[in-house]
Structure 1
């Protein structure tokens, strides 16, 4: 069974967002940038999940 389309970007976006928030103490600019990329992946993955319902 293959994972639903959009699930992998959503999960990876969650991991990247968490990493970005953890980086804020070391370098706030880079931390927020990485967190922003992660949030974008979560949003795009969620859109894919809504566009392609399970069969």
Structure 2
């Protein structure tokens, strides 16, 4: 498996769960979870495409 794939996939899952929570009363926590997931997606993508 290519390096960076695990953080990108995990970040996608975390971002989806944060986006699902945005409609609840925990908007601040949901925004933090969403941002944390998006950061993992970006860092995973850098690992995937940066070492070509």
> Whose helix proportion is higher, 1 or 2?
2
Cross-structure match for 2:48: 49
Partner of residue 10, structure 1: 8
Paired positions, count: 51
TM-score (norm 2): 0.90
CA RMSD of the aligned region, Å?
0.8
Q: Is there any run of 5+ residues in structure 2 with no aligned partner, and where?
A: none
Which of the pair has the greater relative contact order for Cα pairs under 8 Å at 6+ separation? 2
Which of these two proteins has the greater Rg computed from alpha carbons? 1
- How far off is 1:9 after superposition? 0.3
Misfit runs of 4+, over 4 Å: none
